[in-house]
Amino acid sequence: MASDLPPPYTAMTRHEMTPRVDHDEAARFNFLTHFNRYLSGAIGAGNRLAYESRVLPAFREEHGRDPEHRYEIRDAMNHDDWHRTWSALKRNSMEMRQHFGRQIVLRQIDELDAMARQYNEHSDLLELDPSVEQPAYQTAVDIHCQPGGYHTEERDGDVTVGANYDVGLFATTGGALGGLNDGGGQAVVEWVRSEHPDFAPRRILDIGCTIGHNAVPIAQAFPDAEVIAIDTAAASLRYGAARAAAMGVTNIRFIQASGEDLSRWSDESFDWVQTTMFLHELSSQAMPRILSESHRVLKPGGLMLHIEQPQYSDDMPLFEQFMRDWDAFNNNEPFWSAMHGQDLKQVMADAGFDRDDQFVAGVRAVVDPEIFPPAADGEEEDFGRAAIWNAYGAWKADQSGEKAKAA
């Protein structure tokens, strides 16, 4: 496959829980992968051009200074003809992805629900708890414009939102997450294996797992370990557990629980606590609670690892911060901006992870290079979407205060 062409949708790996995608449904997703690449590639430079050629000069003229915050750039760019046009295109791309995905899933929801029910009844990978409340940060808006968010049911016990999430990730990311949309989880596995080959976790907790696409590769890579994957959203867990079962994974359990309250697990009971693209979907009060709970359940010498897009720092140009913020305001990611503006090292330190025990590493999606192109970076990077992440991690100090492992 030529390096600048996305793979066709039919290159996706299939398993029993994969919604059946007919010819034209696949073709619509093919259009969207090209459309998304076009928006970030061929015309992606337009925002910077508009900013530098007219928006910034006008701002300087009006204020007698440069912008001092990404929100000042946002206010100015929201009046710019090109940025509005580009944003309208991108928003429509996200909306089409949802509509196309929901048509695929809902037209066969009877079969999908029945299949999920069968898998979940026989696999024992799913444990739902209806008493778990949906947190406000999950219900305030439908995150990334997914109708129903991760949690809403179209009818009792259905898998619509989980299946729709899975079926369309390919289009949103232009195929950058690989055949099972698990390039993030694969990236985590590769980092652990190459950087810490002796690390042999027995119990792993994945918080905010949604459909488990990033937790399953960890379970597959550490077959002797027990992976507990939790989320508050039953509608996603139901699909995720059935998906894992269909893939033949047995050492994972999907449990409906909130990361803010891990009280059912005792202190120091996990070797590894993982979150992947999760922290930005919380709130300022929830994030430290989850990190504190993570610290509590982690064994001394255990690994805490968060995969996220890079935090905004003083070193990151304000224009880049503004571009990375697009999803917060245009794609229903309301905590994205505040989260990425936080000093995550301090938040983790407040949760008990000594700064000296923390590290940051760069990881990128691990996909089959025969089929899937390398993740875009550089000038054509799709700000905030590229399958290139930072791993914000810490090794929990053991009781004697010694640093268990150097990062």
Partner 1 sequence: MSGESQSNDKTGDKAGEGPIDWVALSGKRAKGRRPQYFDEPALDRLYSTVFALAAEVSALRERQDTVERLLDANGVVKREDIERYVPDSKAGEERGLATQAYMSRIMRGFQQQVEAMAADDPPIMDVVDKLRRE
By CB under 8 A, name the binding residues for partner 1.
1-2, 4-8, 10-11, 20, 22-25, 27-28, 30-32, 34-35, 38, 42-43, 45-46, 49-50, 53, 82, 84-89, 91-93, 95-96, 98-100, 102-103, 106-110, 114, 139-142, 145-149, 154-156, 329-330, 332, 334
Which H helix or E strand runs over 136?
Answer: helix 136-139
Among 347, 359, 354, smallest CA distance to 402 is for 354
Q: Tell me how far, at minimum, the Cβ of 165 lies from partner 1, in Å.
A: 13
Q: Compute the least distance from the CB of residue 389 to partner 1, in Å.
A: 25
Polymer length of the chain: 407
Considering the complex, state which of residue 45 and residue 58 has its C-beta at the smaller distance from partner 1.
45
DSSP structure string for 224-268: TSEEEEEES-HHHHHHHHHHHHHTT--SEEEEE--TT--TTS-TT
Minimum distance from CB of 85 to partner 1 (Å)? Answer: 7
* CB of 212 vs partner 1, minimal distance in Å: 23
Residue 346 beta carbon to partner 1: minimum distance, rounded to whole angstroms: 30
The H or E element containing residue 49 is: helix 46-50
CA–CA distances in Å: residue 404 to residues 46, 74, 191, 300: 48, 43, 18, 8
| Least separation in angstroms between CB 208 and partner 1 | 19
Residue 104 or residue 218: which is nearer to partner 1 going by CB?
Answer: 104
- SS3 assignment, position 364: strand
C-beta of 112 vs 229, nearer to partner 1: 112
DSSP state of 113: H
d(CA 240, CA 166): 9
Question: Nearest-CA neighbor of 238 among 163, 347, 308, 331?
Answer: 163
Block residue for tokens 């910034």: 56
Min dist. Cβ of residue 48 to partner 1 (A): 10
Extract the tokens encoding 389. 């992440």
Q: What angle do CA 166, 168, 171 make, to 5 degrees?
A: 135
Q: CA nearest 202: which of 333, 342, 301?
A: 301
* 141 vs 200, beta carbon nearer partner 1: 141
CB of 114 to partner 1, least distance (A): 8
Taking the least distance from each CB to partner 1, the nearer of 135 and 302 is 135
Query: How far apart are CB 1 and partner 1 at their closest, in Å?
Result: 6
How is 180-237 classified by DSSP, letter by letter? Answer: TS-HHHHHHHHHHHHH-TT---SEEEEES-TT-TTTHHHHHH-TTSEEEEEES-HHHH
Backbone angles phi, psi at 257, to 5 degrees: -160, 160
**Residue among 76 and 307 whose Cβ is closer to partner 1:** 76
Residue whose CB is less far from partner 1, 330 or 358? 330
